[in-house]
Structure 1
Amino acid sequence: MRLLAPILLLTIALQSCSEYQKVLKNEDVKAKYDLAQKFYEEGDMKRANRLFEQIAPKYVGKPQGERVMYFLADTYFQRKDFNMAGYQFERFVKSYPKSEKVAEASFYGAKSYFELSPSYSLDQTDTDKALAKLQNFINAYPDSEYFDEANAMAKELTTKKEKKAYEIAKQFNKLGEFDFSFLTPAVAAFDNFISDYPGSIYREDAMYYRFESATQYALNSFQVLQKPRLKEAQEHYATLKKQYPNTKYAKKADDLIEKVNNELEGSTQQLEAK
């Protein structure tokens, strides 16, 4: 009795495989449609996808065309072929703009590009594309059941872009420890970051490291150039303390501003002595 169940399952599987191969090779579009739908409902996305691929061109302009195109896109998505899924969902939206599935297709098209977004350290072209698609969906379908998920994905991608921009600026800061010429682009990069991402979770960090970069640059400048650069460092410190009175960088920032003030005071006394 114990052997009967596995044997029965194997027999069914072989029959299904035989049926699939037979339908796959013949020209009966209706038979392919019925079997593709059967596989789709059973969750066999690989075989459903193959059949939908074959019949999709045959249903263009026909009543079932909308259904076939959506299923085709969804089978790509379920198989994690997100490049093709994104492309097919976009085709669906363009082909059937009045479909009751258009919002869902727009969402899953955007989600396909979200899944393609790489690590923050890599090129973010796909991230930009995903953000644009998600924002379009959010703007077009504020009452959709997928609205919250779309917002969460958009936030995650925005944070990823923020992290990349922040890490680039931080790298200039790090290189400045060995070569002070990198501190000027570090300050500029932190300036841009603070301007571009006003609500970023890295804003406090960026403000501190901008101040640190400006300070180190000023302290290592020729004496004739020091005063305006020291004053600029003071301004960055004041901005940090104003925005974050209880900043987590308080001790390090206070130690640095003491050096800036002492250096500025010494510079002023030297000028007065002359």
Structure 2
Amino acid sequence: MRIRLITLLLLALIVSSCGEYEKLLKSSDYELKKAKVFEYYDDGKYMKSIELLSQILPRYRATDDAEQLNWINAQAHFRIRDYMMAGTYYQTFAETYPLSNNAEEAHYLAALCDYYQSPRPELDQANTKKAIESFTIFMQRYPTSTRTDDCKARILELQEKLVEKSYLSARLYYDLKEYRAATVSLANSLKEYPDTRYREELMYLKLDAQYLLAVNSIPSKKVERYQTTLDEYYSFIEEFPESKFSKDVYRIFENTAKYLQIDTSVQPTDNN
């Protein structure tokens, strides 16, 4: 009986609260609405705060309250993880109030919103590149900021995502057995990120793709493509003489040399 009574009381409070909020939305008392914006925000009721702000911001645009209200608007959107809108509001705030005590924080949080919109590596990385640019601009604008180390760490993380994206895109053609496109894509990835942690694997895939392209070529193109395979082989073993791919690499060399009628007994290779 007591539990039922408590439940009914709670339901009554909820209904009453909803009714009060609906009345507030319809009210023309902007000062009350403004006070409630801060109250709801402090209580973590960000959606209610945002809804009220959408009503009152035009009214307070040219007043002394505008700066604080616009800041709360950006913060509330950030709290509900609407990073696209929050980033826009932070950027607008920083441009509108460049002398504000929150201007630096707004620039940083705008960049952070770009960071949170960066997708997983296999997807389009436009937002990742935008986030890197935003953090870089922030550090240039605030060279002594306490956020500098954080920005650098996030940039490195984002750059690693670009490296992985490049790797995944490069080997996609290889996995699809599109060897001509694979050689181009793998070469571009190595050129764009020469120090990538995937370098050894990418160079091996490039060699193997070139070899398989030669194998599957029409007779008139075989010699040229096998010769290119041989060049790729020498580039690979020069950089990775003790590679984990050595067995497969040497197999490619032997088959290539056989086609080109090269005496492998005089080749300085390691067939581990």
Question: TM-score, normalization: structure 1?
Answer: 0.81
* Distance (whole Å) between structure 1 residues aligned to residue 127 and residue 246 of structure 2: 38
1:14, CA displacement in angstroms?
Answer: 5.3
- Say which is worse superposed, 86-95 or 9-18, in terms of deviation: 9-18
Is the 8 Å Cα contact of residues 227 and 264 (structure 1) preserved in structure 2? Answer: yes
C-alpha distance 141-198 of structure 1, shift in aligned 2 (>3 A): farther
Deviation by residue 1:206-245 (Cα, 9 ceiling, x = unmatched): 1111111112223344555444433322332333334334
Deviation by residue 1:37-65 (Cα, 9 ceiling, x = unmatched): 11111211111111222222222232221
- Say which is worse superposed, 64-73 or 225-234, in terms of deviation: 225-234
1:75, CA displacement in angstroms?
Answer: 0.8
- Say which is worse superposed, 12-21 or 99-108, in terms of deviation: 12-21
Residue of structure 2 equivalent to 1:207: 203
Residue of structure 1 equivalent to 2:193: 197
Task: Confirm or deny that 1:95 pairs with 2:96.
Answer: yes
Tell me the percent identity.
29
Residue of structure 1 equivalent to 2:76: 75
Q: Which runs of 4+ in 1 moved over 4 A?
A: 2-16
Task: Confirm or deny that 1:42 pairs with 2:43.
Answer: yes
Is the 8 Å Cα contact of residues 89 and 109 (structure 1) preserved in structure 2? Answer: yes
Residue of structure 1 equivalent to 2:168: 167
Is the 8 Å Cα contact of residues 227 and 267 (structure 1) preserved in structure 2? Answer: no
One-letter code aligned to 1:209: L
Is the 8 Å Cα contact of residues 82 and 115 (structure 1) preserved in structure 2? Answer: yes
* Distance (whole Å) between structure 1 residues aligned to residue 172 and residue 154 of structure 2: 27
Deviation by residue 1:3-29 (Cα, 9 ceiling, x = unmatched): 598777666655544443333221222
Is the 8 Å Cα contact of residues 171 and 182 (structure 2) preserved in structure 1? Answer: yes
1:105-184 equivalent positions in 2, closer than 5 A: 105-176=106-177, 182-184=178-180
* Distance (whole Å) between structure 2 residues aligned to residue 267 and residue 257 of structure 1: 11
* Distance (whole Å) between structure 1 residues aligned to residue 196 and residue 61 of structure 2: 46
1:232-271 equivalent positions in 2, closer than 5 A: 232-266=228-262
C-alpha distance 56-187 of structure 1, shift in aligned 2 (>3 A): same
* Distance (whole Å) between structure 1 residues aligned to residue 14 and residue 153 of structure 2: 41
Residue of structure 1 equivalent to 2:184: 188
* Distance (whole Å) between structure 1 residues aligned to residue 145 and residue 17 of structure 2: 38
Is the 8 Å Cα contact of residues 211 and 229 (structure 2) preserved in structure 1? Answer: yes
* Distance (whole Å) between structure 1 residues aligned to residue 263 and residue 88 of structure 2: 64
Please state whether the residue corresponding to 1:112 is helix, strand or coil. Answer: helix
CA RMSD in angstroms comes to 3.0
- Say which is worse superposed, 141-150 or 56-65, in terms of deviation: 141-150
One-letter code aligned to 1:70: W
- Say which is worse superposed, 158-167 or 30-39, in terms of deviation: 158-167
C-alpha distance 33-128 of structure 1, shift in aligned 2 (>3 A): same
* Distance (whole Å) between structure 1 residues aligned to residue 18 and residue 217 of structure 2: 76
- Say which is worse superposed, 189-198 or 243-252, in terms of deviation: 243-252
Please state whether the residue corresponding to 2:98 is helix, strand or coil. Answer: coil
Is the 8 Å Cα contact of residues 219 and 260 (structure 1) preserved in structure 2? Answer: no
Question: TM-score, normalization: structure 2?
Answer: 0.81
Is the 8 Å Cα contact of residues 257 and 263 (structure 2) preserved in structure 1? Answer: no
C-alpha distance 43-215 of structure 1, shift in aligned 2 (>3 A): same
- Say which is worse superposed, 251-260 or 234-243, in terms of deviation: 234-243
* Distance (whole Å) between structure 2 residues aligned to residue 74 and residue 172 of structure 1: 44
One-letter code aligned to 2:121: Y
Which ranges in structure 1 are unaligned for 5 or more consecutive residues? 177-181, 269-274
1:167, CA displacement in angstroms?
Answer: 2.5
C-alpha distance 213-140 of structure 1, shift in aligned 2 (>3 A): same
One-letter code aligned to 2:214: A
